[in-house]
Amino acid sequence: MFLKTVLADGQAEQAVIREMKARAAGARGDIEQTVRAIMDDVQARGWDAVCEYAGKFDGKAPYIVAPSELEAAYAACAPSLTAALEKAAANIRDYHEQMLIKSWEWERGSGETLGQTVRGLARVGIYVPGGTAAYPSSVLMNAIPAQVAGVGEIIMVTPPTENMSIEVLAAAKIVGVDKVIAVGGVQAVAALTYGAGMIPQVDKIVGPGNAYVAAAKKLAFGTVDIDMIAGPSEVLVIADHTANPTWVAADLLSQAEHDRLASAVLLTDSMAQAQAVSCEMERMARALPRWEIIRESVAGYGCAIVFEDLKEACKMADMVAPEHLEVMTAAPRELLPYLHNAGAIFLGRYAPEPLGDYMAGPCHVLPTSGTARFFSPLSTDTFLKKTSIIEYTRDALQGYAQDIIALAQSEHLDAHANSVAVRFAEEAQDEKC
């Protein structure tokens, strides 16, 4: 069979999870040493190092992409594409405006005012891949949530490939990115991390990239914030006998075509469904331009697992914690309470994964490699910084003074205790007099 199929028995499905975890670890590779050397060099030598590595890896020195070039790229795109990008941008903005949280204050008691200020980060860097992996949709998905959050300045970096993607530049024009700089690779991440020449230091770096870019972002974390460390793409589909096998196969292939390490997994309670999906995948895949990539991806990291009960399939899905999780069953919402770990959940036969990639509105930058157990999708929240506000009157503080002193002394932090005690020491002395 094109899609290898196993019967769930408590062991076979666990082997699948182990293979997926090994795949994620293998994808990272042993490149951190090379990346660290470049990061350290840029930190030490700044702009000269950035230009040196840009000449070596990008083929030219970094430069600012002029607004006129963005306008020209927009004009050169097919009207149908720019219309689709603008429609997607509107949907993304609408969705993320719904989740925007505001600053707030609360009076817990007499003289006790607590709250939180919520504001966007001052400056954010967005990495957008170039070459064959040029995705204008990623410009929208990274920049618009930042704008909704109120980020002060958005700087986009993208490799100055020989034929820089006009679609990517058109997307930057549609969104209104503040500055586009033609520089890619580790040197771009390093420049955004430490600041170099015309590239200022940012507060956070987001966006996809190859294994070197991912390693650079990992090393940047702590000096700046990052969104996440992304691994190979993945989709997991839960389907019962009512699902159209052609549609299921098409959805699995939509992720398998990304790269040879992409994972496409089907969980079902029907062996007939698994076999039908496998046949449909092979039939459709052979006609696709990326057939060789799909063939290797499916052979290495694709499979169908047949369960007796779909609730057991949900347990498996939670252990995998996939980037994309589709539920194509007769009553998909009935399984939703059993699904806790996924980057995005797509319910029903008319919610294919590409809907989320391009148009629905939620961000397609999602946790991978099982990290959906503890990471969330990129969103407006990603670009917000929250600060606690505490304001007490004299009487309110006095009501807690002895409790605070007791806690501080229990931790042998006498200066902490004194910080509170000193405020009432003079009054206590006056009372004695």
Catalytic residue among 13, 234, 324, 353: 324
Cα separations in angstroms, 190 against 68, 165, 217, 221, 382? 27, 23, 8, 11, 21
Instruction: Write out the E strands in 144-221.
Output: 153-158, 179-182, 204-206
Biggest CA–CA distance in the chain, Å, is 96
324 among the known binding-site residues? yes
364 among the known binding-site residues? no
270 among the known binding-site residues? no
255 among the known binding-site residues? yes
Whether 412 sits among the annotated catalytic residues: the reply is no
Whether 234 sits among the annotated catalytic residues: the reply is no
Cα separations in angstroms, 288 against 133, 239, 291, 398? 17, 24, 5, 73
- On whether the CB atoms of residues 344 and 378 are closer than 8 A, the answer is no
Catalytic residue among 167, 234, 257, 323: 323
187 among the known binding-site residues? yes
194 among the known binding-site residues? no
Cα separations in angstroms, 324 against 8, 11, 13, 120, 304? 21, 24, 18, 28, 16
d(CA 432, CA 187): 68
Kindly provide the b/e burial profile for residues 411-422, where b requires at least 16 CB atoms within 10 angstroms of the residue's own CB: eeeeeebeebbe
Q: In what order do the strands lie in the sheet with 234-239?
A: 5-7, 302-306, 263-268, 234-239, 324-328, 344-347
241 among the known binding-site residues? no
What SS3 state is found at 214? Answer: helix
350 among the known binding-site residues? no
* Helix or strand run (H / E) with residue 354: helix 353-358
127 among the known binding-site residues? yes
340 among the known binding-site residues? no
Which residues have a catalytic role annotated?
Answer: 323-324
Residue ranges of the binding site for substrate: 233, 255, 258, 324, 357, 411, 416
Binding positions for Zn(2+): 255, 258, 357, 416
Known binding positions for NAD(+) = 127, 187, 210
